[in-house]
Amino acid sequence: MAADAEPLSPPVPEAKFKRVMLKISGEALMGPQGFGLHPPTVERIAREVKSVHDLGVEICMVIGGGNIFRGLQGSAQGMERTTADYMGMLATVMNALAMQSSLEAMGVFTRVISAIPMDQVCEPYIRRRAVRHLEKKRVCIFAAGTGNPYFTTDTAATLRANEMACQAIFKGTKVDGVYDKDPVKYPDAKRFERVSYDEVLAQHLGVMDASAIALARDNNVPIIVFSLDEPDGFRGILAGQGTYTTVHG
Ligand code: UDP
């Protein structure tokens, strides 16, 4: 934690962590469609977030933009890379607003906080202000990635988790942890209970991109990989149950 970070409020007895980062990909919001936002899926994930919020856990979120636009795809089609990346970052703002709308309809107060200022739409990122929102139990949805091209929202999630002094990064995926090979293709794939940052990097285990893993390693923030499709999965882990993999130091 940075020396000038504000002190955290007292710990929550039921939950294993007091402040966490939840990272989900944009694709997690597209449900059975091949593109864009699927409102019932957004609502289902918002409900999971609310159930953890109800435990008193302070929640940061980063949502990717891959359901709308990815910079690499744009540049593969001839678009200038940095422009394409800015379009990807803007896509994450749309996803963040959709999640905000769904959470607030359930009575959860939120802030969308963008790395690229767009005052009419959401707040600009100011670290101390974001910390204050968390202390007031507002879910902070960090949008527009890091604000820089050539990065990903995995790196943005790790960066903000470090800045917000999150105790863990929850990476919601389609499977319930990290496997030695793709469990969808190989039925004999083995799931790790725990795996180190270095093993993830050396074996290219594909948890998050390498810069995100290295940033988590530098600050020793555990990454908990779990299935977003498991009902109550996020809350279960906070309560000490469920199947997942911890990436650690
Ligand atoms: N992006 C970027 N800088 C960042 C974060 C994201 O340029 O700090 C762009 C990049 O083009 C990326 C897109 O935003 O492809 C969407 O983010 P990402 O691919 O991480 O989304 P996800 O795969 O998690 O849905």
- Report the number of distinct structural domains present in the chain: 1
* Atom from ligand 1 closest to the CA of residue 154: 20
Look up the CATH number of the domain holding residue 77: 3.40.1160.10
Check residue 239 and give its pLDDT: 87
β 58-63/245-248 pair status: unpaired
Indicate if ligand 1 lies below 6 Å from the C-beta of 172. no
**Rounded to the nearest whole angstrom, what is the distance from the C-alpha of residue 81 to the centroid of ligand 1?**
12
Question: 89 lies in which domain range?
Answer: 19-169+198-209
Which residues fall in the annotated binding site? 23-26, 65-66, 70, 85, 146-153, 173, 179, 182
Check: pTM over 0.75? Answer yes or no.
Answer: yes
Check residue 35 and give its pLDDT: 96
Number of residues written out for the chain:
249
Q: Would residue 186 count as lying in a domain?
A: no
In 3D, which of 173, 187, 182 has the Cα closest to residue 243? 173
Q: Would residue 190 count as lying in a domain?
A: no
Q: Please give the Cα distance from 69 to 73 (Å, whole number).
A: 8
Q: Would residue 133 count as lying in a domain?
A: yes
Indicate if ligand 1 lies below 6 Å from the C-beta of 71. yes
Q: Would residue 163 count as lying in a domain?
A: yes
Q: Would residue 240 count as lying in a domain?
A: no
Range in 12-21, 53-62, 95-104, 219-228 with the lowest mean pLDDT: 12-21
Q: Would residue 180 count as lying in a domain?
A: no
* Atom from ligand 1 closest to the CA of residue 153: 20
Instruction: Give yes or no for residue 43 having a pLDDT over 70.
Output: yes
* Atom from ligand 1 closest to the CA of residue 147: 8
Q: Would residue 8 count as lying in a domain?
A: no
Indicate if ligand 1 lies below 6 Å from the C-beta of 88. yes
Q: Would residue 249 count as lying in a domain?
A: no
Q: Model confidence over 135-175: pLDDT tens digits?
A: 999 999 999 999 999 999 999 999 999 999 999 999 999 99
Check residue 136 and give its pLDDT: 98
In 3D, which of 68, 141, 70 has the Cα closest to residue 99? 141
Tokens representing 154?
């995995």
* Atom from ligand 1 closest to the CA of residue 84: 11
- For a pocket test of ligand 1, which of 92, 170, 211 has the largest count of ligand atoms closer than 8 A to its C-beta? 92
